[in-house]
Amino acid sequence: MPEFYPPTTEKDIELAFGQIKPYMNPTMAHYESSRCLFCYEAPCVKACPTGIDIPLFIRQINTGNVDGAAKTIYNSNYFGNICGKVCPTEVLCEGACVFNHQDVKPIEIGRLQSFATHHVIETEKNLFRLPPNNGKKVAIIGAGPAGISCACELRQLGFEVEVFEAKKHPTGLAIYGCAPYKVTNEDVLDEMVWLQGQFGFEVLYNHKIETAEQIKGLEASYDAIFLGIGLGETRSLDIPGQDLENCVGATEFIEQVKINPLKTRVGKKVVVIGGGNTAMDAASESARLGAEEVVLVYRRPKENMGAYGFEYELAKSAGVKGIFCAVPVAIIGNGQVEGARFIKTKTENGRVAMEKGSEFDIACDTVILATGQEKMTGFLSLIEGLEWNKDGSIKVNAETFQTTNPKYFAGGDAVNGGAEVVNAAAEGKQAARRMDAFLNKA
């Protein structure tokens, strides 16, 4: 008996995508916050890309100063609630909790963080006071975690900020990519509304910047521009059969699941190709949407997967099966996907070699390619003097996030090649401070 059936109602969706880190109630938060040791120079803080003073906010929760706790969090990370839910805490703050060394359950830092931030969002609490405008204007391209963090920080520094977003909704992959059992769209958008209320920046939606003319226009009207453009579509594999119906990119598939889960149809047997966290999400989500069988195929051994161990475990718990050391050579079918052909591999000296004559087919009606995303080099080439690395990531000064065109700063996936929400949030914020230093230097 399968765990999940194809959902037909909103209620089914809620059940299929039950939150793995639901909000704590005040009693839970009290007991959990009581356990924190208040470590000296706490390892959890060092493990957090945004350096949130975790022992402090936990102590604030424990003493009934939940607003103060939220302020502590937002002082370091504008995506406090979202990060509390979607951060890979197992390998960040909670993984660093000293309790692990005595096999004591680490403090549930992520959930405590969401408890505090959700409280101020829900009660529409005002935590920040803005300085008068400093007379300078910054344009931000991309309303993802990097762009929005940058916008919030710039507003705190007195800049006027406008954000240009190609899509209909803000927060980028937080809404279009994060697994629905980690955070709900409602939570994501609520935090965004709260942030806009606090910091008062403009976001222009459905406003794609794509021409040299538009770019010239921005350059003329703004003192600086931040690029938080993220990544593009799923990278093509260059194998026959990719164009068959029901062979889809993971990014596109997940976006569909996130925005319109009831209209997302997965087949009965799904093959997901890839070994990163996106592959795990696509596989998990397929299973939760009622696929009878979901097979994950990765070209190297299991240990080499880019995905976190707990993400693979999560996928397995939803019924996903893993096949390792195999690469696709063709998607088979006639108009529609009917299967995928793989060849076994051997990894020698880090290089993947195909084993001749070891081809095998897996019958399936859906193939999801989780083979990475394209870089936005086409867009980048429109900006004068802007350079990118061999892998397509924007070249920046590692400390200042300034690009090779001094008017432009950049952060997030477009710079780091694709990381977590928390990394983008950290980079956007830091970039804002450096823009301020650059624009307001004596």
Name residues whose C-beta falls within 8 Å of residue 348's C-beta, 6 or more positions apart in sequence: none
Longest Cα–Cα distance of the chain, Å, equals: 70
Three-state secondary-structure class, residue 297: strand
Q: Are 142 and 174 in contact (CB under 8 A)?
A: no
Strands 269-273 and 366-369 turn out to be parallel
Least distance from other proteins to the Cβ atom of residue 88, Å: 21
Q: Distance from first CA to last CA of the chain, Å, rounded? A: 69
Least distance from other proteins to the Cβ atom of residue 58, Å: 11
For residue 249, which of 156, 347, 403, 371 has the smallest C-alpha distance?
A: 371
Q: Which residues pair with 234 in a beta bridge?
A: 373
Least distance from other proteins to the Cβ atom of residue 96, Å: 10
Least distance from other proteins to the Cβ atom of residue 419, Å: 23
Instruction: Give 100 or 221: the residue with its C-beta nearer to other proteins.
Output: 100
Q: Which residues pair with 140 in a beta bridge?
A: 163, 226
Strands 137-141 and 408-410 turn out to be unpaired
Instruction: Give 112 or 314: the residue with its C-beta nearer to other proteins.
Output: 112
Least distance from other proteins to the Cβ atom of residue 146, Å: 30
Instruction: Give 16 or 36: the residue with its C-beta nearer to other proteins.
Output: 36
Least distance from other proteins to the Cβ atom of residue 438, Å: 31
**Alpha carbon of 255 to those of 189, 221, 233, 283: distances in Å?**
15, 33, 11, 14
Distance CA 33, CA 42 (A): 15
Least distance from other proteins to the Cβ atom of residue 263, Å: 46
Helix ranges restricted to H, 305-404: 309-317, 377-380
Residues composing the chain: 442
Instruction: Give 103 or 243: the residue with its C-beta nearer to other proteins.
Output: 103
Instruction: Give 25 or 349: the residue with its C-beta nearer to other proteins.
Output: 25
Instruction: Give 40 or 186: the residue with its C-beta nearer to other proteins.
Output: 40
Instruction: Give 108 or 223: the residue with its C-beta nearer to other proteins.
Output: 108
Least distance from other proteins to the Cβ atom of residue 176, Å: 38
Name residues whose C-beta falls within 8 Å of residue 347's C-beta, 6 or more positions apart in sequence: 300, 301, 304, 325, 353
Helix ranges restricted to H, 318-420: 377-380, 413-416
Instruction: Give 125 or 302: the residue with its C-beta nearer to other proteins.
Output: 125
Q: In the complex, which residues of this chain contact other proteins (CB under 8 A)?
A: 30-31, 34-35, 37-41, 43, 62, 98-102
